[in-house]
Amino acid sequence: MERRRRIRLVEPGKSEPGFTERLEAQARRILEHPRSLADLPALSFIERQLAFTLHQLDEARRLHREIRGELHRTELYVYNELLRMQPRPFEYHENRGFARERLADKLAHIRDERRRHMVAEHDRHHVVHDRLLSLLNRHTLLRL
């Protein structure tokens, strides 16, 4: 019997959760079973802050997803326009050179905007995850 080798594809982001994903999951688990307001007012205050922080994170993700989609659609449109202006056999116009350069500049500008957006998204998530970690630490200390 011959054993066949199987190739397992590992998608990025589909492996085990990272530190920030575990933080978010822990915060969501805490919020699934909130304490009553009579238990500890400080604990319920931190749970409300946790809920608000997770809401901020979800809204930031939604906004960034919309912006990335819009940048992608714009990039595809400009790229298609650029492809349509490629010289065809027996048909070359001098005025297309300037238009091609303008579209190539737009494409470069969109790529720069995408990079700036990715850095801003990373920075924003870093700040929110830092706040989430401090709130989880306070919550753990108050539960003891």
- Summarised one tens digit per residue, pLDDT across range 56-107 is 999 999 999 999 999 999 999 988 888 887 665 555 555 566 778 888 899 9
Each residue of 8-47: pLDDT tens digit?
555 665 567 788 899 999 999 988 886 655 567 888 889 8
**C-alpha span between 88 and 91 (Å, rounded):** 5
Band (pLDDT 50/70/90 cuts) for residue 142 is confident
d(CA 133, CA 56): 14
At residue 134, does pLDDT exceed 80?
yes
Give the pLDDT of residue 97: 67
The larger pLDDT score, comparing residue 92 to residue 49, is at: 49
Question: For residue 9, what pLDDT is reported?
Answer: 55
Tell me how many degrees the CA angle 136-140-143 measures, rounded to the nearest 5.
135
Report the pLDDT value the prediction gives residue 38, as an integer from 0 to 100: 54
Whether the CB-CB separation of 46 and 111 falls below 8 Å is answered with no
pTM of the full structure = 0.71
